[in-house]
């Protein structure tokens, strides 16, 4: 009898196996798709990366010694003076010291010479010998001091019948505005400007001759008067005797001009008083540009020590107190200015007004 053999049945059943993470009840929920773009996520990642440290800021590992910096690459620029500059400064200092020594020696020599001189008060005759070279002698110093501009500003105020005393070699000639015209004065008022006539006076005939030659070259068609005489004795009748044609003889001069003249006059106070007497009382002006004493005592001592030698050579007492001369003359001061440590003086004066005239 055939008996079918029994098949062996496995005792363990084959259940379907699922991963534990998937079968767990704590499995995470599926993430929702992010609304942010990949570009913004990349920017965030870059921002989260810490900045790199510079080589000099990196910490030195323990147990190692940092190498000293290279002296060639870390050396600071030097602040020393270059040798050429030192040489130049040394030569300059030597030159200046030698020049100062020369000036001191010259000053001492001139002072010693001045103490032995017996110079008269009136030295105006020196201009007779220096007239030919006068312009060349004073050209450089006048340019350095800017006196050309100061002459121009002063002479531009001249108007009407003009008298210039101590005219010298005519250094004011280029600045005259000849010929009358209507315009505005410095205060903005309507006025007659320009010069109607001009009279030039100087003690030195040689100086007057040079002035006349220059004037005729600059203004060949304009008549003028040239006289070699004392400014303290000039009269209005000189204008009539000169042959200058005017519509009516002037009673006074409208403007009197004097530049660098009080230093050479024998009696400057008396001369100013006389000039005031020939100036139109109500509207006339006396224009002065002079040189004299300074604000400072140390400079006045130098001027005093060298004054005799300077007067003997150039005919000029450069240490006179121009302010005292003006005040003693009795003229009324309209304007006063000083430059160059007080040694250059500018005055605008007018005749003293009496009380009755001032009230009227």
Q: Do 283 and 252 form a contact (C-beta atoms < 8 A)? A: no
Q: What integer pLDDT is reported at residue 12 of this predicted model?
A: 52
Longest dimension (CA), the chain: 193
What is the SS3 assignment for 350? Answer: strand
Going from the C-alpha of 66 to that of each of 1, 53, 73, 75, 122, the distances in angstroms are 101, 17, 16, 18, 92
- Residue 16: its pLDDT value, please? 56
Q: Does the predicted model carry a pTM greater than 0.75? A: no
Structure tokens at 96: 């200046």
Distance of CA 85 to the CA centre of its chain: 29
Q: What is the pLDDT of residue 23?
A: 47
Mean pLDDT of the chain: 81
From the centroid of its chain, how far is CA 325? 29
How high is the pLDDT of residue 234? 87
pLDDT, residue 42, reads 59
Q: Domain spans of the chain?
A: 124-359
Which residue shows structure tokens 């006048």?
142
Q: In sequence order, what DSSP letters do the residues of 192-231 get, joined into one string?
A: EESEEEEEEEES-HHHHHHHHHHHHHH-TTS--EEEES-G
CATH superfamily, domain 124-359, is Vaccinia Virus protein VP39 (3.40.50.150)
DSSP track, 278-293: TB-TTT-EEEEEEE--
Average pLDDT, 10 consecutive residues per value, the chain (360 residues): 54 52 53 55 60 55 54 56 85 84 72 76 91 95 96 96 96 95 76 90 96 97 92 75 56 94 94 96 96 97 92 93 97 97 98 63
DSSP 187: T
The pLDDT, as a whole number, for residue 182 is 82
> Could you tell me the end-to-end alpha-carbon distance of the chain, in angstroms, rounded to an integer?
182
Position 18 scores a pLDDT of: 53
pLDDT of residue 111: 73
Q: List the Cα angle 293/334/304 in 5-degree steps.
A: 5
């Amino acid at each position: 009898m055939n008996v079918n053999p029994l098949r062996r049945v496995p005792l363990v059943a084959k259940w379907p196996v699922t991963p534990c993470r998937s079968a767990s009840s704590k499995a995470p929920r599926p993430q929702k798709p992010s609304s942010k773009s990949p570009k913004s996520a990349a920017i965030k990642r870059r921002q989260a990366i810490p900045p790199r440290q510079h080589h000099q800021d990196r910490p030195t590992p323990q147990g190692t010694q940092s190498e000293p910096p290279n002296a060639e690459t870390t050396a600071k620029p030097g602040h020393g003076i270059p040798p050429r500059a030192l040489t130049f400064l040394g030569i300059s200092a030597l030159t200046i010291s030698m020049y100062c020594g020369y000036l001191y020696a010259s000053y001492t020599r001139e002072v010693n010479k001045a103490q032995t001189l017996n110079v008269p008060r009136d030295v105006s005759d020196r201009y007779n010998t220096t007239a030919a070279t006068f312009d060349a002698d004073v050209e450089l110093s006048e340019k350095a001091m800017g006196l050309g501009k100061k002459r121009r500003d002063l002479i531009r105020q001249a108007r009407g019948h003009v008298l210039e005393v101590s005219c010298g070699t005519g250094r004011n000639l280029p600045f005259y505005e000849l010929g009358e015209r209507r315009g505005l004065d410095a205060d903005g008022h309507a006025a007659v400007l320009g010069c109607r006539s001009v009279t030039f006076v100087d003690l030195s005939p040689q100086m007057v001759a040079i002035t006349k030659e220059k004037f005729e070259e600059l203004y060949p068609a304009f008549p003028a008067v040239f006289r070699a005489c004392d400014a303290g004795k000039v009269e209005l009748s000189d204008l009539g005797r000169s042959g200058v044609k005017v519509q009516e003889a002037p009673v006074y001069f409208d403007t009197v001009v004097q530049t660098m003249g009080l230093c050479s006059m024998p009696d400057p106070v008396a001369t100013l008083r006389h000039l005031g007497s020939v100036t139109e009382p109500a509207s006339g002006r006396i224009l002065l540009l002079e040189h004299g004493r300074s604000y400072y005592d140390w400079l006045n001592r130098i001027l005093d020590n060298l004054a005799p030698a300077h007067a003997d050579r150039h005919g000029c007492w450069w240490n006179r107190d121009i302010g005292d001369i003006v005040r003693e003359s009795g003229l009324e001061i309209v304007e006063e200015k000083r430059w160059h440590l007080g040694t250059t003086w500018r005055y605008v004066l007018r005749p003293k007004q009496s009380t009755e005239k001032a009230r009227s």
